[in-house]
Amino acid sequence: MQKNQKILFLDKVLLAPLKKPVRGVELFNINLLRDLSQIGYNITLPLHNSWIEYLKANKKAEIEKITIISCSKGKSALTNGMSAILQLKKEHFDTILLANIANSLIPAIKTAKILYLANKFVLIAHREPSRRFLHTCNKLGNMTVVAVNNKIAGHFDKNKYHTVKTWYGITNADKYYPPPRTDRSRLPFKFCVLGQLDNAWKGADTAVTAFCKLPQAIKHKCELHLASFTKLPKYTEKNIIPYGWINASEIPDFLRSMDAIIVPSRDEVVMRETFSQVIVQGMLTALPVCASNLPILTEKLDKGGGLIFNNTDDLANQMQQLAEDRSSAKEIGAIAKSIAEERYIWKSNKFAKLFLEE
């Protein structure tokens, strides 16, 4: 790494007021900030003030090592992004790291280009870009795109971006590992669905419907754990157990108490999975996976490690199969773990060498 290499880190979520729960991409970006500061990069982070206490209280990102640019005059990433760029107009950076695709950052990106604020731009693309975003960033001429899946990467390839790579994983993989081997044969077989399940597209209802279709003799030996909700629902089936919000730090132990993970996400007009950290977390914990038939999910199970369902009847049959044959479930889980370890562990030092220092 070049000595004192300077990075301007732009994240639309961190530029806007804090909204809880903090999850998914936000947690990934916070962990990335921590890692890059530990490696030794000189990071400047425009940040809405409401995030500062959260990061300090949760000991996230090691913000004492980061130069914070206060951006709290506006309530939007657009306003605060522009404010940050104008505050930094006399600075110069080796890299501007865009932490996700965001139309709200287009004015800031254009202004940064006009001011020649950085030598290059690197984008981590967690979602599909709009035409406007593609057009704007294509004019930068020196943008490297790191996409979390091949479908997202394809948009940039079609628009003839110079450097486009598919490269992603979870940042805290060391927290996810199987529990000690114990005899669980006399315990209920525990299925789980994990995510912000208030969102309908996460498919908790699909898992509930499939569970209710299980033969009674199987159902009474199983449990369905739904984690988690900000507004707790009620279910008539006593073996369906919903959870209030679970903090990220509690998820590894939660998964180690389970026997299988269901990922029933579905594509909707506005929201869809672009990677699914949840499926990887379950795989690293050696849980067999039941996943809906979405390319983002099925590509992770192409060498085994799980079962793919098209409807609730499929899922109910797969749940019965796993519950009746625990040894087979463990074998599938072991395959899942090996796949995740090989493909889906994020290494910030490798990311830095590949994309920040090239």
- Residue-level pLDDT at 269: 59
pLDDT digits (tens, 9 = 90+) for 336-352: 999 999 999 999 999 99
Domain 6-168 class in CATH: alpha beta
pLDDT digits (tens, 9 = 90+) for 252-278: 999 999 999 999 999 875 667 888 999
**Tokens matching residue 161:** 């971006």
pLDDT digits (tens, 9 = 90+) for 89-109: 999 999 999 999 999 999 999
Q: How would you write the chain as a 3-class SS string? A: CCCCCEEEEECHHHHCCCCCCCCHHHHHHHHHHHHHHHHCCEEEEEECCHHHHHHHHCCCCCHHHCEEEECCCCCCHHHHHHHHHHHCCCCCEEEEEECCCCHHHHHHHHHHHHCCCEEEEEEEECCCCCHHHHHHHHCCCCEEEEECCHHHHHHHHHCCCCEEEECCCECCHHHCCCCCCCCCCCCCEEEEEECCCCCHHHCHHHHHHHHHCCCHHHHCCEEEEEEEECCCCCCCCCCEEEEECCCHHHHHHHHHCCCEEEECCCCCCCCCCCCCHHHHHHHHCCCCEEEECCHHHHHHHECECEEEECCHHHHHHHHHHHHHCHHHHHHHHHHHHHHHHHHCECCHHHHHHHHHCC
Nearest partner of 100 among 64, 70, 75, 137, judged by Cα: 137
For tokens 């992004």, name the residue: 81
Report d(CA 235, CA 6) in Å as an integer: 52
Given this chain, do its domains 6-168 and 174-343 carry the same CATH topology? yes
Looking only at the bridges linking them, the beta strands covering 163-166 and 42-47 are unpaired
**Tokens matching residue 165:** 């790579």
C-beta of residue 133 within 8 angstroms of C-beta of residue 153:
no
Percent of the chain with pLDDT over 70: 97
pLDDT digits (tens, 9 = 90+) for 182-213: 778 789 999 999 999 999 999 999 999 999 99
* pTM as predicted: 0.83
- Residue-level pLDDT at 10: 97
- CATH entry 3.40.50.2000 includes domain 174-343: yes
C-beta of residue 307 within 8 angstroms of C-beta of residue 291:
yes
For tokens 């959260």, name the residue: 54
**Tokens matching residue 224:** 């369905």
- Map out the domains of the chain as residue ranges: 6-168, 174-343
